[in-house]
Amino acid sequence: MFEERVVTASRQAQSPLDAPNSTSIITAQDIRLSGLTKIQELLRRLAGVEVTIMTGGDTEVSIRGYNSRVSNKTLVLIDYRSVYVDLLGATFWEALPIDVEQIERIEVVRGPGSALYGANAFAGVINIITRKPGEGGSHVRGGVGSHGGVFGSATVSQRQGDTAYRASAGYTREPKWSRDLGPGRLDTRTLTPDQDTASRNARFDLQATRRLGRDVELSVGGGAAKVFRNMLALGSL
């Protein structure tokens, strides 16, 4: 019988029942059966996780009630590497460089994790673990929404002998629900002329591995992203 193992809670593989913190796991099968296309929407299904959608491109995620306009008490990792913005200590979810189809599982640890992960893990840790190159197959998806919302992505993942690779590219545009400032205002200036777009994310990622021996594997990877995100609204002046 297969038993789920969690690593994030104590940095060693163990059963969720033995983990020192309350832990939940979202598996690849859970993601596929849910039909959801955003990581934030997946987290919204978990007990103790609070997801606040401010605009189409501004989402804040917290654990056990520590949410705010700039949520910096929950640490977010992708493959055990932090993805928060250094200046604010917060995570821009719409700027993450992965799609839900690339995710193997998501481990959510509720409760303080600062002893292992630093100050940002005060409320908990969300670790997004992606599939290895050569796993998950290939896929293409896309869609459009109201107010000019659009998303699309393509992933190719294959294995040839001892070599495996995964290449992915995607684009997302999230619209604002309303303008911060009305049209024709002469007494203010905005930082960007596009007041109808909340965020844009164009990204490319490539990872490759090669098995050199029984217990030796070489892994290389890289990517690029161009992200636009409208500044946080403070209300009309």
DSSP string, 88-148: TTB--GGG-S--GGGEEEEEEEES--HHHH-GGGSSEEEEEEEPPTT-S--EEEEEE-GGG
Question: Tokens 């684009």 appear where?
Answer: 171
Distance of CA 177 to the CA centre of its chain: 22
Domains located in the chain, CATH noted: 22-130 (2.170.130.10), 139-229 (no CATH)
Residue 210: C-alpha distances to residues 163, 164, 165, 215, 217 (Å): 4, 6, 9, 11, 6
Question: d(Cα 154, Cα 165) in Å, to the nearest integer?
Answer: 14
Average pLDDT over residues 199-215: 89
Average pLDDT over residues 33-52: 90
User: In the numeric block, which tokens belong to residue 175?
Assistant: 């619209």
Average pLDDT over residues 11-20: 66
Question: d(Cα 47, Cα 36) in Å, to the nearest integer?
Answer: 17
Digit-coded pLDDT (tens) for 62-84 = 998 877 777 888 999 998 888 88
Question: d(Cα 157, Cα 52) in Å, to the nearest integer?
Answer: 33
- In the predicted structure, residue 204 carries a pLDDT above the cut 60: yes
Average pLDDT over residues 196-210: 88
Beta bridge partners of 128: 78, 106
Digit-coded pLDDT (tens) for 171-183 = 998 887 766 666 6
Average pLDDT over residues 22-37: 89
Q: Average the pLDDT over each of 17-21, 24-28, 103-107, 110-114 and give the range with the smallest value.
A: 17-21
Digit-coded pLDDT (tens) for 86-115 = 777 788 888 888 888 889 999 999 988 888
Question: pLDDT at position 208, please?
Answer: 93
The single-letter code of the amino acid at 210 is: R
**Please, what is the average pLDDT of the chain?**
82
Q: Provide the percentage of residues in the chain whose pLDDT is more than 90.
A: 26
- In the predicted structure, residue 234 carries a pLDDT above the cut 50: no
Question: pLDDT at position 233, please?
Answer: 47
If 0-12 CB within 10 Å is exposed, 13-18 middle and 19+ buried, where does residue 7 land? middle
Question: d(Cα 180, Cα 230) in Å, to the nearest integer?
Answer: 10
Question: pLDDT at position 184, please?
Answer: 63
Average pLDDT over residues 13-41: 83
- In the predicted structure, residue 142 carries a pLDDT above the cut 80: yes
